[in-house]
Chains A and B, each alone.
Chain A
Amino acid sequence: MKALGIAATGMMAQQTNVDVIANNIANANTTGYKSSRAAFQDLIYQTVHEAGALTSASGNARPVGTNIGLGVQNTGVIRLNTQGGLAQTENQLDLAVDGHGFFVINRPDGSQAYTRDGSFQLSSTGQLVSLEGYELNPGIVMPENTRHVEINQEGVVSAFVENDPNPVELGQITLATFSNVAGLTPIGNNLLVASAGSGEATIAIPGDPGVGILRQGYLENSNVNVIKQVTDLISAQRAYEMNSKAIETADQMLSTANQIK
């Protein structure tokens, strides 16, 4: 009887499902967070009888084989890379990407990470940094006594310093795009890193085709649809219960077999 093992794969799959849903709900208010979904596929099949096998000497053949499946597996967790809603914050250093690009962040070990979270701050030296203090790449340094910062849709940063009525251009914010955005590896702190699955980052200027534009004074909300998550949670729980019922049935049947004698 393989039912015990098969139902166990079903329960494990639903556990993964609930973990992913719980993480989505927990991040419902995380800036730039993208909702994920666990994807499942059926496991291999065991062929008990081969289709087409001869059933008589006169050449009759089995029209269908007996293939018993061995359960379910989790093949991946897919991030839903749709645009989150843009919320106005009126903070001049808050940036949102309206499109598909990612901000590039320098990690302390010198490697790059990518994020949709544009809630930037200034470091003690005037560098534009993320909330963890990681520098934006390419770096932007604010002069002292900056009155006002203007970041246009194409990512050009200009500052109005002291009483000078003319802005000073400080630099250009660039965005990264990937051939397979779903292949990026999340590492927490709203950061993602490139992987063999995502391919290398292509750096582009906001406004280029397929990159998106910047919006100053806005942040991107998470794209988690809480109602959908809760309904998914209900069906995951029920599916878990059904699999445990299958284990119970297999167990009772084995106990029946034990009681024959």
Chain B
Amino acid sequence: MEPSREILMHPWYVWWVLIIGLFLMTFIGTWLITRRWDK
């Protein structure tokens, strides 16, 4: 019997959260560090 779509896609949702989260971490973190550099 084929499992539900939810079960099959669950690990991918976590995977996407990681991909997007690490992308945001990289660029928001860099923005926070460098935002006062000009001054």
Q: Decide whether A and B assemble into one complex.
A: no
Q: A residues within 8 Å of B by Cβ?
A: none
